Amino acid sequence: WFSKSSNTEMKLSHTEETEILDKEGLEAMVFPRGSNPDLSPLHIICCNDTCSFTWTGAEHINQDIFECRTCGLTGSLCCCTECARVCHRGHDCKLKRTSPTAYCDCWEKCKCRALVQGNQTARFNLLSCLIVHTDLVTKHNSRGESILLFLVQT
C-alpha cells in the first residue's frame, strides 16, 4: 500500500509554481489574511452599484429608501440602497417605513460617492483580474454568503 515516489508522479512546472506564488502574493496585497470578509475587493466590486439618482434624476421611483440620522437625511429626505451601503456605511442609517416612492437625496446633504458612474470597462477589467489572479471567489462574506450566490440572485 505504500510505495516510494517515482519519476512518474505529477509535479508542478516552474511556471505553474510561479503562477501559484503570484496568485497568493497578489491576494495577500489586495486582501490580506485576517481582513474583514465584507471588505473583499471582489464582493465590493460586484455589490457596488451606482446611486439611483444617476438614472432617475429628480423623478420619484419605487425603491427601498433609507434615512441617515448622522447626515440629516430624515423627514422627506432619504437615500437609496447603494448610498446607504457606500456613503452612509457605519452611520445611524435605517430603512424607512414610509412610502418607498422617492429619489435619492444623498448628494444634497453630503458628497455622494455612488453618484459618479466611473469607467465600466476599467471596472470589468478589475473584476476579471480579481477572478483570474486570486482565489477571492472562494471566500465568503461575514454572513457566510458566496459572491457566486449573490451574482445568481441579482
Model-level pTM greater than 0.75? no
| Rounded Cα gap, residues 142 and 38, in angstroms | 6
- pLDDT tens for 9-19 read 456 665 665 56
Q: Which residue ranges make up each domain of the chain?
A: 36-51+117-154, 53-109
Helix (H) or strand (E) holding 120: helix 120-133
CA distances to 69, 77, 154 from 101, rounded to whole Å, are 20, 12, 21
- pLDDT tens for 31-68 read 898 999 888 888 887 776 788 888 788 899 888 999 99
Print the SS3 string covering 45-106. Answer: HHHCCCCCHHHHCCCCEECCCEEECCCCECCCCCECHHHHHHCCCCCCEEECCCCCEECCCH
pLDDT band at 20 (very low <50, low <70, confident <90, very high): low
